[in-house]
Amino acid sequence: MDDAVTVIVARYTEDVSWVERLGYNSVVYDKSDAPAENARQLENIGREAHTYFTHIVNEYETLSPMNVFVQGDPFDHLDDRGRTDVDGLRKQLVDVVDRALPFKGLAWFKLKCDRLGRPHDLRKLENKGRWAGWGRDIPVGAVFEELFHVPMPEQLIVRAPTGNFCVSGDRIRTRPISFYQHCLHLVEQDPFDEYNTGHAFERLWQHIFNGNTAWNSGYPVSS
């Protein structure tokens, strides 16, 4: 098993038996009433962003050289045919490690959006009632500016639009732990995603991990 890689899984009720087949160390965070074996239980709030920031804050000093953040069933986002392709995911991860990439989105597509997350599908009638923020825009601009204290560009290219990505431990630590504590606080302030804060983070992962230390202003560094 490759100790240089840890797969961090945000599970609700999905079958996560595929994780073991990847052949990497893994941590499953579970928000269901019937947690998977050996999973770490979390309160069911804040979408996968809550899970990811919880892991980063708790493991900040001991993060793996490469950290793979994925949802409990990521495969319809990783493959345009929706296949459960564990071998394909493993090949992507091997490539990321071999090339020492500091960040890579794993979705098969990219998005372009404005400060309200448009275009988006949060008003689809078939999704009505699935979460409290249905029908609202996504506060991408507001969250961007709250995090980085600079104006958001007119549009963003979103390179990890589904919340499935790889990021190195070194790249994570280009921002102080206080930054991630603030991120965690923001999601906890919108626990049921009434204002789509969790959706906003889905549009911002590549900026959170872009290594631009000039955006760290205002975040204290622990001694």
Whether the per-residue pLDDT at 31 is higher than 80: the answer is: yes
SS3 assignment, position 218: coil
Q: What's CA 212's distance to the chain center, in Å?
A: 18
Tally of CB atoms within 10 A around 61:
9
Does 219 reside within a domain?
no
Q: What confidence score (pLDDT) does residue 131 get?
A: 86
User: φ, ψ for residue 94 (rounded to 5)?
Assistant: -60, -40
Does 199 reside within a domain?
yes
Whether the per-residue pLDDT at 12 is higher than 90: the answer is: yes
Does 152 reside within a domain?
yes
Q: Nearest to residue 165, comparing CAs of 89, 221, 98? A: 89
What's the mean pLDDT in 81-95? 90
pTM flag (> 0.75): yes
Does 216 reside within a domain?
no
Q: How far apart are CA 90 and CA 127, in angstroms?
A: 31
Whether the per-residue pLDDT at 223 is higher than 60: the answer is: no
Please give the sequence-ordered ranges of beta strands (E in DSSP) within 1-115, or none if there are none. Answer: 2-11, 24-30, 40-41, 66-71, 103-105, 111-113
Percent of the chain with pLDDT over 90: 90
Does 217 reside within a domain?
no
Does 171 reside within a domain?
yes
36 secondary structure, DSSP code: P
Q: What confidence score (pLDDT) does residue 161 get?
A: 93
What digits encode the pLDDT tens for the residues 58-68? 999 999 999 99
Does 222 reside within a domain?
no
Write out the residue range of the structural domain in which residue 101 sits. 2-211
Domain total of the chain: 1
Comparing 83-87, 156-160, 185-189, which segment has the lowest mean pLDDT? Answer: 83-87
Q: What confidence score (pLDDT) does residue 81 get?
A: 80
Does 223 reside within a domain?
no
132 secondary structure, DSSP code: T
DSSP H helices in 46-165:
47-59, 75-78, 86-98, 140-148
